[in-house]
Amino acid sequence: MLRAPAKDAGFIQMNHPTVAIVGATGAVGVEMLLCLEQRNFPLGKLKLLASARSAGKTMTFRGEEITVEALTHDSFGDVDIALFSAGGGISLEYGPSAAKAGAVVIDNSSAFRMDADVPLVVPEINPEAAKNRPRGIIANPNCTTIISLMALKPLHDAFGMCSIIASTYQAVSGSGAQGIIELEEQMKAINAGEPVTLKVYPRQIAFNVIPQVDTFTENGYTKEEMKMLHEGRKIMNLPDLRVSCTCVRVPVYRSHSVSITAQFERPVDADAARASYAGRPGVKVVDDITNKVFPVPLDTTGKDDCLVGRIRKNLVFENALDLWVVGDQVRKGAALNAVQIAEIL
């Protein structure tokens, strides 16, 4: 097996690499395992890492039981590709150790995304960026940003995008396993006539929506909302792209939806917009309003493709389109995108 030196710049020859999942027991980690299995990823060995609490547990991969190990700085000696999904703190602490040990780190957290020496990659949009990784780290973008850009890249190629206004409808699994538990517990409490307990979210999420995802920044936008601007510019290589976003948590288990108004340099047309998706991998048009056909979160749950609908010419801005995009944020927004980056390596 050829090991991947951290300083290597380019796509590398790896024959059946050893892959580690850091945070294997979490919502995204479990999905990474599933993606590797379903996509028949050509791996040699799989290493599952989590906190000391999970050490000794077993998880099934391709019919075999694999024992979860506690993450340490020495976990990466035999690892070629390390998929990190245990939160930003863990990535900051252990990511550099993994890269130093020779693994290519694919990090799902926001810890390194805006680092100039760390490429931020959506394989359908900027795969070539993965070649140049001076720190041995490749960042996986924010889930909402990935899903939105999957819908916007074909339109950008057709009409030249200059600004985006978006509102998101984000599922509770975006907050990890604890988000799902909070929604379930609150629904049970309400149905039993008992008071709800708040642990993960600032307000009740059951039978409610919350216009706050992540913490607020000085300009009144949340960190999640600013990610769409900064990460969108970096991935699309559009430093002047203007973005204004409102991120909202909704009581949906899985799949984020985004309502987008995008403005372009050139005149737009809804039919030409729909046609721009032809032959694009990972994104499909589901848009037939006469038959009430449009995508909803349940359509994309557990699926790879992002679905786009409600495409229409915006009535306010010149050269602008309105659209609705839905994607499984645990999958394309996190685990699948990371595994696809590993595939292009």
User: Which residues have a catalytic role annotated?
Assistant: 143, 256
33 or 247: whose CB is closer to ligand A2P?
Answer: 33
Contact 314, 321 (CB under 8 A): yes
Q: Least distance to ligand A2P from the beta carbon of 148, Å?
A: 22
Q: Least distance to ligand A2P from the beta carbon of 26, Å?
A: 2
Q: Least distance to ligand A2P from the beta carbon of 175, Å?
A: 8
The secondary structure of residue 194, as a DSSP letter, is P
For residues 162 and 241, give the distance between their C-alpha atoms in angstroms, rounded to a whole number: 5
Structure tokens at 317: 């801005």
Taking CB atoms within 8 Å and a gap of at least 24, the contacts of 63-67 are: none
Q: Least distance to ligand A2P from the beta carbon of 275, Å?
A: 39
Q: Which of 78, 70, 3, 92 is nearest to 45 (CA)?
A: 78
Q: Least distance to ligand A2P from the beta carbon of 143, Å?
A: 12
What Å distances lie between residue 227 and 143, 197, 240, 261, CA to CA? Answer: 10, 29, 15, 17
Q: Least distance to ligand A2P from the beta carbon of 280, Å?
A: 30
Neighbouring-strand partners of residue 326: 257, 307
**Letter string b/e over residues 5-25, b meaning 16 or more CB atoms within 10 A of that residue's CB:** ebebeeebebeebbbbbbbbb
Q: Least distance to ligand A2P from the beta carbon of 94, Å?
A: 8
81 or 330: whose CB is closer to ligand A2P?
Answer: 330
141 or 176: whose CB is closer to ligand A2P?
Answer: 176
CA dihedral 111, 109, 134, 240 (to 10 degrees): -80
51 or 167: whose CB is closer to ligand A2P?
Answer: 51
CA dihedral 5, 7, 11, 14 (to 10 degrees): 0
Q: Which of 130, 135, 129 is nearest to 103 (CA)?
A: 135
Q: Which of 210, 276, 294, 192 is nearest to 246 (CA)?
A: 210
CA dihedral 191, 195, 199, 201 (to 10 degrees): 70
51 or 163: whose CB is closer to ligand A2P?
Answer: 51
Contacts to ligand A2P by CB under 6 A = 23-27, 29, 50-51, 53-54, 71, 86-87, 90, 176-178
What residue number has its CB nearest to ligand A2P? 26
Q: Which of 121, 113, 132 is nearest to 7 (CA)?
A: 132
Contact 128, 35 (CB under 8 A): no
53 or 62: whose CB is closer to ligand A2P?
Answer: 53
Judged by phi (left if over 0) then psi (alpha if -120 to 50, else beta), residue 318 lies in: beta
56 or 267: whose CB is closer to ligand A2P?
Answer: 56
